[in-house]
Amino acid sequence: MISEHHISNFDPGAFFTLHDFDSSLTWTADEIRRMYGLDDESSMKGVDEAKKAEVVHSTIEKFDMDGDGTIGRGEWMEGWRAGKRLEDFGLGPGHHGDDEYEYEIHHFERFHDENTREEDLTHPEDIEHFRKHDELEAAAEHQEQLDRMPIVEQNIPQKFRRY
């Protein structure tokens, strides 16, 4: 998680803000799950819910000083000054951005560079990434076709159809 997210470039306050996804000045269990990428199906295959719950519980337990089940910015900063750090649970790099951002930092930056041509993008991760692009594009084209139709029969409940 450290190298892919360029953590060495952040001070503790900036790191907290980056992972405070709802800008509430508090990390909730959901934000911790997102920061560690616990809901990302591509990197969490084979990781059971008990392990994911352990990651969240351990992280909150380490920094939550007032016992409210969350980590406030002040708690994070105080813990950081006291030498506390997030654990690496050995579950991979963590995910917190959209698919484009995650592909960029976890794969493209590691295996490719600005001189990479499209025909060089042959890793399984590249193929999967562009397959998702193709699916999204096909779905958008299908929706555009439906939007041009005056009546979309499949949207009419069966009981109101005449045939």
What's the average model confidence in pLDDT over 38-64? 86
What's the average model confidence in pLDDT over 8-18? 82
Cβ(97)–Cβ(36) below 8 Å: no
Q: With 0-12 CB in 10 A as exposed, 13-18 as middle and 19+ as buried, what is 62?
A: middle
| 71: number of Cβ within 10 Å | 26
Lowest mean pLDDT among 1-10, 75-84, 116-125, 130-139: 1-10
Beta bridge partners of 72: 26
What's the average model confidence in pLDDT over 54-82? 95
Cβ(63)–Cβ(71) below 8 Å: yes
In this predicted model, what pLDDT tens digit does every residue of 71-81 receive, in sequence order? 999 999 999 99
In this predicted model, what pLDDT tens digit does every residue of 19-37 receive, in sequence order? 898 999 999 999 999 888 8
- Measured in whole angstroms, the distance separating CA 64 from the mean position of its chain's CA atoms is 23
